[in-house]
Amino acid sequence: MKKTRQENKPDREGYYGEFGGAYIPEVLHANVQELGRVYRKILAEPSFRRELRGLLVDYAGRPTPLYAAGRLSARHGCRVYLKREDLTHTGAHKINNALGQALLARRMGKRRIIAETGAGQHGVAAATACALLDMPCAVYMGAVDMQRQQLNVQKMRMLGAEVRPVRGGNMTLKDATNEAIRDWCCHPSDTHYIIGSTVGPHPYPDLVARLQSVIGKEIRGQLPSREGRDYPDLLVACVGGGSNAAGTILPYLADRRVSILLAEAAGEGLESGKSAATIHLGSVGVIHGSRTLLMQTDDGQVTEPYSISAGLDYPGVGPLHAHLARVGRAEVVAITDREALDAALELTRLEGIIPALESAHAIAALSRRRFRADEVVVVCLSGRGDKDMEAYIEHANIH
């Protein structure tokens, strides 16, 4: 088994322990290698950092507040802070990554952007960044997902992106990703592929984690004035592909004083056959260019995942997260649809914040723990709930 010396970084081939790497078709080697060669250098350039920082502050609304949630704290018997990614432009953390990768693409001389999207959240973030930076953008989306997420399709079109329906396979995210990779194969020199989470071939998981680590860095800057120290006892985040979680925990990974609790989607239950709890139920395999845990049948067919939350409905998981679970650095709990819906309503009634269904999984994870009164807990509230109102009206027993 390979060893990762620094926990928050993959090794030279992009492995976190046994997970990661770059399993890609021959025609993409040059692209992925070029990205791997330049990304850290460009991200470290002062002029790049200035440019990205400027957009994150003036355009995306950073830093996001670290809110001391008084009534939620009383409910759980500890000191709960919410990192308010729901207050960013476009309403979720995905904009941090989309802006960063679009700027990176421009510095690499790539004029055209492609992206894949499932529920449409990443597609909207990519289309937003491309409108701002005046870059043509094509978003691949399964035809079934387009039907389910018409509002996001219309938003992407209004933003000037071309939404390309994918009719192969189950017509969902997996198939859209395959089409995006095919596009990239055909346009290797002028196109950058913006992957939306800490998944895909190396260096994407590390690139996305670094771009999202602004979340954790801000927490470290915001905690001292409240708590007199810059670290919490516990960090909590939901995991679809893993980007909001990675961004929250990255600056604290080497700090053993900080525990990590990750929430994945159990859907209708771990034993129900309708679930997206990849870390609980998955086995080792290769998906979207990375060796990681994935939900698959005994003969290696990827199984269609299910969660009420479209953003957690992914059959794989980032290699960093698979590794952190494997070595015990992170505890992973599986939260059902019902628990997430109840947590969403509870947060709304206690704090006046309607969370995204994804983020509600992280809130629900709090109920799995008993806390000491002085424990400091930071939950990443990854997004706002506007997009999920239909589900809340249908299921959340609102009265």
Ligand X SMILES: *Cc1c(COP(=O)(O)O)cnc(C)c1O
Active site residues: 94, 116, 382
- Residues 43 to 102 in contact with ligand X, rule: CB under 6 A: 92, 94
Lookup: tokens for 251: 């600056």
β partners of residue 335 = 265
Rank residues 159 and 239 by Cβ distance to ligand X and give the closer one: 239
Site map 350..369 versus ligand X, x via CB under 6 A: ------x-xx----------
Query: Using the rule CB under 6 A, is 242 a contact of ligand X?
Result: yes
Q: C-beta of 387: minimal distance to ligand X in Å? A: 8
Query: Using the rule CB under 6 A, is 307 a contact of ligand X?
Result: no
Contact between residue 32 and residue 206 where contact means Cβ atoms under 8 Å apart: no
Number of residues that bind ligand X (CB under 6 A): 19
Separation CA 69–CA 354 (nearest Å): 13
Contact between residue 353 and residue 388 where contact means Cβ atoms under 8 Å apart: no
Rank residues 199 and 375 by Cβ distance to ligand X and give the closer one: 199
Rank residues 79 and 321 by Cβ distance to ligand X and give the closer one: 321
Lookup: tokens for 375: 């424990």
Site map 190..219 versus ligand X, x via CB under 6 A: -------x----------------------
Contact between residue 200 and residue 180 where contact means Cβ atoms under 8 Å apart: no
Q: What are phi and psi of 54, to 5 degrees?
A: -60, -45
The single residue among 36, 200, 216, 241 that binds ligand X, judged by CB under 6 A, is 241
DSSP 303: P
Query: Using the rule CB under 6 A, is 121 a contact of ligand X?
Result: yes
The single residue among 282, 311, 315, 319 that binds ligand X, judged by CB under 6 A, is 311
The single residue among 99, 161, 238, 364 that binds ligand X, judged by CB under 6 A, is 238
Query: Using the rule CB under 6 A, is 240 a contact of ligand X?
Result: yes
Separation CA 127–CA 67 (nearest Å): 29
Position of tokens 């952190």? 324
Name the residues that contact ligand X, by CB under 6 A.
Answer: 92, 94, 121, 197, 238-245, 311-312, 356, 358-359, 382-383
